[in-house]
Amino acid sequence: MKKYDISIIKGDGIGPEIVDEAIKVLDAVSYSCGFSLEYKEYLMGGIAIDETGTPLPQETIDGVLNSDACLFGAIGGEKWDTLPRDLRPETGLLKFREAMEVYANLRPAIIYDELVNASTLKPEVIEGVDIMIVRELIGGIYFGKPRENDGFKAFNTMVYTKPEIERIGKTAFELAMKRDKRVCSVDKANVLEVSQLWRDTMEEIAKDYPEVELSHMYVDNAAMQLVRNPKQFDVIVTGNIFGDILSDTASMVVGSIGLLPSASTGDKTAIYEPIHGSAPDIAGQGIANPIATIESAGMMLRYSLGEMEAADKIDAAIKKALKDGYRTKDLAAYDAKEVVTTSEMGDIIANNI
Amino acid sequence: MKKYDISIIKGDGIGPEIVDEAIKVLDAVSYSCGFSLEYKEYLMGGIAIDETGTPLPQETIDGVLNSDACLFGAIGGEKWDTLPRDLRPETGLLKFREAMEVYANLRPAIIYDELVNASTLKPEVIEGVDIMIVRELIGGIYFGKPRENDGFKAFNTMVYTKPEIERIGKTAFELAMKRDKRVCSVDKANVLEVSQLWRDTMEEIAKDYPEVELSHMYVDNAAMQLVRNPKQFDVIVTGNIFGDILSDTASMVVGSIGLLPSASTGDKTAIYEPIHGSAPDIAGQGIANPIATIESAGMMLRYSLGEMEAADKIDAAIKKALKDGYRTKDLAAYDAKEVVTTSEMGDIIANNI
Ligand SMILES: CC(C)[C@H](C(=O)O)[C@@H](O)C(=O)O
Ligand SMILES: CC(C)[C@H](C(=O)O)[C@@H](O)C(=O)O
C-alpha cells in the first residue's frame, strides 16, 4: 500500500478545528482508495511564539521539507499583533513560504451552483465562473530589498528578475493548457518598470505556448473586471501584492471566503491551505466552515500526491453535502436545510466518501 | 460679476466630446448663478505628442498654474502605447500631477437611486452607498526612486515620508468631519514597512480629530469588503497604487464608470476629471456618457470656486435627467425612457438648470 508523509500545521484561531475535519476526510478517502497517510504535526504562528518563542521553529522547516506535502490551517491573532515585526505570526508565514520556495500560489475561484446566492453579485453575473488565479508568492514587494522605516521615511522595493517571472509564467501557461487556454497577465506596466519587465517576459513565454491566448490587463482594470464580468477570465497570473488583492476580490465574487482553497507550490514541498484567516473571534465555537480546508486537502491529493481519484471523491463529497442542504453557520442564509457544526460538516463529507 | 479663469484640457479619445458637454452645463449654471467663467484650452496626452512632440508642453503647466481650476477630459490611446516610456500620454499625466502638486485625489462613489440596477451587485447591497475615497496621488510607488529595468531585473520603490502621509491624512479627516466622521485607512502594514509608517502616522493625526473614528484595514481585506458590504465605509484614505485599485473596484460597486467624477487637489490649482479613460473605441460616435465629466465640473465649483449653489444645481440637474429616464447608450439597459447622444445629454442637463 502506498504511504505518504503529510506534515500538518494547525496554527491559531480556527486553524486546529478546520484541519481536524480535513484529516477526518483524508482518512476516509485514503481508506477508500487504498493508500495511507502518515501525519506529523508542527508548530507555526502564534502558538509557536507562545511555546517556543519564535513564529517559525527550525524543526517545522525541516519537518515540512521532509514530508510529501503540507496541510496548513491558519495563523495569527490580535494577541501577537503588537510584538516586534520580526516575531509576528505573519513574519513566520512569509519566512516559511520563502524557506519552502513555494513561488506559485494557486487560488481557484469556482462557483458552487448551490451557493450562487451567497455572493453579493447577481447570480447571472457569476453563474459558471471558474477562474484560476496564479499569484507569485516569494518575490515582489513582499520580499524586495532594501526595505526600511526610520520613523520619518519608509520604503519597500518591488522587484522581479526575469527567471522569477519565467517560472511563475510557465506555471500559469501549463495550467491554462489543461483549462480554457487563456492567460490574462495583470500588471501596472503603464507606470512601473517592474511591470514592464513582467509584461515583456510573459510575451516571451507565450511563444512557447502557441495554443494559449495571452492578454494583459492593468491591475486597476482587472479589479474592476472581476466585479463587472468575472466570467471573462480563465487563468490570471500576477505578482505577489496584486495577487493578494485580486484573489481576495475574487473570493467575494464567489461569495464565501469559507469555500476557497489554495495551493502554494514550487520545486520542494507544497503547502495547502484555505485562503481565509484564523478568525480568532469564532475560534472554539464549532461554527467555522471547514470546506475550504477540506478542498485544500483535495488539491494536495491532486497536485502533490497524484491521487486523482481520491481528489475527485472529495470534490464530489463536498458538492453532495452542499446539495443535501447542509450549511455551516456562515452560509445558513443560503438554502440551508440543516445548519451544522464544524465537526458535523466534516462527518457528513467523510460519510459521503 | 465674479469671474474665474478655467483651464481646459480635452485630451484624447472621447475627451473632447465629454468636456464640451461639461462646458455647456457650466455656461448654463454660471449664467443662472451670476458669475462668469473664462476658458483657456491647453494640450496634453496623445494630441500634445502629435502636435508638439511631448505629452506635456510647458505651456500647459504654466497655463493651468495660472488658472483658478482645471477641467480635464481623458488622455491616451493605443496609437501612442508603443512610444518610449518617456513620451507616452500616461507619463505626461503623471508629470502633470507632480507639477501641480495635487497630492489628494478625491473619488466619491455614490449610488443614484435610478441606476441601482446598473451595478453587478445586488440592489440591497449597494442602496445608499456613499463612499469618499481619498487617494494619495503624487507619491508612493508611482514616483518612488530608484526605479530601473535593465531587461534582467527591474524594480520600483514604494516610499512615503511622514509629511506626505500627514497632509493626505489631514485631507481625509477634514472631509470626514463634514460627513459621517469615519476614516478607514487602508495599508498592508502586516508586510510593508512603508505601510507601518503610514499606519502610525494616521494614528497620530487622529489625535487632532477626537470626533472622527479611525480604523485600519489591510488592502486585500478592503478590496473584499468593498464587494461584500460597501455600505460600511465613509471615508477611505490610502496610498497611490492601493487607491488606484480600490477606486476602480468602488466604481464597479456603483455600477458605471461613466458616472464617477474626481478632484485632484493640493496647494495649487486643482484638477477635475472623470475617473474613466479616453475610450478611443467609442470616440466621435456621440455615445460617450458625459455625466462623470459634468459631475467633475460640479466638484470644481464646490471645491475650487466655492460656488456651492451652482454645484448643487448641477447635481440636481443630473439627478433630474436620470429620473426623467434619459440614458446614454452605456446605461440604455437600466430603466431608460429615451436613449440620447452625448450632446443631447448635455443639453438636457443644461436645460434642467
Ligand atoms: C497574512 C498575510 C501576510 C498574507 C499575505 O498577504 O500574503 C495573506 O493575506 C495571504 O494572502 O495569504
Ligand atoms: C492612466 C494611469 C496612469 C492612471 C493611474 O494609474 O493613476 C489611471 O489609472 C488613474 O487612476 O487615473
Active site residue A244: yes
CB-CB contact of A260 with A97 (8 Å): no
Cell triple for B221: 481585506
Distance of alpha carbon A313 from alpha carbon A277, whole angstroms:
26
List the single residue in A120, A159, A251 with the smallest CB-CB distance to B122.
A120
A32 annotated binding-site participant: no
Using DSSP, state whether A152 is helix, strand or coil.
coil
Q: Give bridge partners of residue B273 from the DSSP assignment.
A: B262
Distance from CA of B272 to the nearest CA of A (A): 20
Element (H, E) at B58: helix B58-65
Query: What single string gives the DSSP state of each residue in B295-345?
Result: HHHHHHHHHTS--HHHHHHHHHHHHHHHHTTEE-GGGTTTT-SEE--HHHH
CB-CB contact of A18 with A296 (8 Å): no
Ligand 2 atom with least separation from CA of A188: 6
What pTM does this model have? Answer: 0.95
Is the C-beta atom of B191 inside 6 A of ligand 1? yes
A151: alpha, beta or left? (left if phi > 0; alpha if psi -120 to 50): left
**Residue of chain B minimizing CA distance to A230:** B120
Residue ranges of the annotated binding site of B for substrate are 97, 107, 135, 220
Distance of alpha carbon A261 from alpha carbon A290, whole angstroms:
10
CB-CB contact of B353 with B317 (8 Å): yes
Ligand 2 atom with least separation from CA of B241: 6
CB contact under 8 A, A223 and B228: no
B164: alpha, beta or left? (left if phi > 0; alpha if psi -120 to 50): alpha
What is the 3-state composition of chain B as percent helix, strand, coil, each rounded to the nearest 5?
50, 20, 30
Ligand 1 atom with least separation from CA of B220: 9
Q: Which residues of B touch A145 (CB under 8 A)?
A: none
Atom 11, ligand 2: residue with shortest CA distance? B244
pLDDT in tens, A328-345: 999 999 989 999 999 999
Determine which of B227, B231, B246 to mutate to test the interface with A (most A C-beta atoms within 10 Å).
Answer: B227
Res B257: pLDDT: 84
Atom 5, ligand 2: residue with shortest CA distance? B244
Active site residue B188: yes
Report all structural domains of chain A as residue ranges with CATH numbers, in order of start.
1-110+255-353 (3.40.718.10), 120-238 (3.40.50)
Supply angle C-alpha B173, B119, B14, rounded to 5. Answer: 85
Alpha helices in A114-192 (DSSP H): 123-126, 162-177
Using DSSP, state whether B16 is helix, strand or coil.
helix
Res B42: pLDDT: 98
What's the gap in Å between A244 CA and the centre of ligand 1? 7
SS (H, E, C) B196-235: HHHHHHHHHHHCCCCCCEEEEEEHHHHHHHHHHCHHHCCE
Using DSSP, state whether A270 is helix, strand or coil.
coil
CB-CB contact of A71 with A297 (8 Å): yes
**For the purposes of burial, counting CB atoms within 10 Å of the CB of B146, is it exposed (0-12), middle (13-18) or buried (19 or more)?**
exposed
pLDDT in tens, A133-190: 999 999 999 999 999 999 999 999 999 999 999 999 999 999 999 999 999 999 999 9
List the single residue in A142, A162, A251 with the smallest CB-CB distance to B191.
A142
Mutate to test the pocket of ligand 2, among B90, B136, B143, B276 (most ligand atoms within 8 A of CB): B90
pLDDT in tens, B79-103: 998 888 889 999 999 999 999 999 9
Atom 3, ligand 1: residue with shortest CA distance? A90
Strands B213-218 and B271-274, sheet pairing = unpaired
Distance of alpha carbon A303 from alpha carbon A263, whole angstroms:
8
Element (H, E) at B21: helix B15-33
Count of beta carbons in the 10 Å neighbourhood of residue A330? 20
**Residue of chain B minimizing CA distance to A82:** B190
The ranges of chain B with pLDDT < 50 are none
CB-CB contact of A69 with A46 (8 Å): no
Question: What radius of gyration do chain B's Cα atoms show?
Answer: 20
Residue ranges of the annotated binding site of B are 77-90, 97, 107, 135, 220, 244, 248, 277-289
Tens place of pLDDT per residue across chain A (353 aa) = 899 999 999 999 999 999 999 999 999 999 999 999 999 999 999 999 999 999 999 999 999 999 999 999 999 998 998 888 889 999 999 999 999 999 999 999 999 888 999 999 999 999 999 999 999 999 999 999 999 999 999 999 999 999 999 999 999 999 999 999 999 999 999 999 999 999 999 999 999 999 999 999 999 999 999 999 999 999 999 999 999 999 999 999 888 888 999 999 999 999 999 999 999 999 999 999 999 999 999 999 999 999 999 999 999 999 999 999 999 999 999 989 999 999 999 999 999 99
CB contact under 8 A, A192 and B246: no
**How close are the terminal C-alpha atoms of chain A, in Å?**
19
Ligand 1 atom with least separation from CA of A241: 6
Alpha helices in chain A (DSSP H): 15-33, 46-52, 58-65, 89-100, 123-126, 162-177, 193-206, 219-228, 240-254, 291-303, 308-323, 342-351
CB-CB contact of B20 with B343 (8 Å): yes
Q: Which ligand is nearest to the CA of B92?
A: 2
Whole-Å CA distances, A64 to A56, A100, A124, A268, B305: 12, 8, 43, 10, 64
Distance of alpha carbon A183 from alpha carbon A187, whole angstroms:
13
pLDDT in tens, B244-298: 999 999 999 888 888 999 999 999 999 999 999 999 999 999 999 999 999 999 9
CB contact under 8 A, A153 and B161: yes
Is the C-beta atom of A166 inside 6 A of ligand 1? no
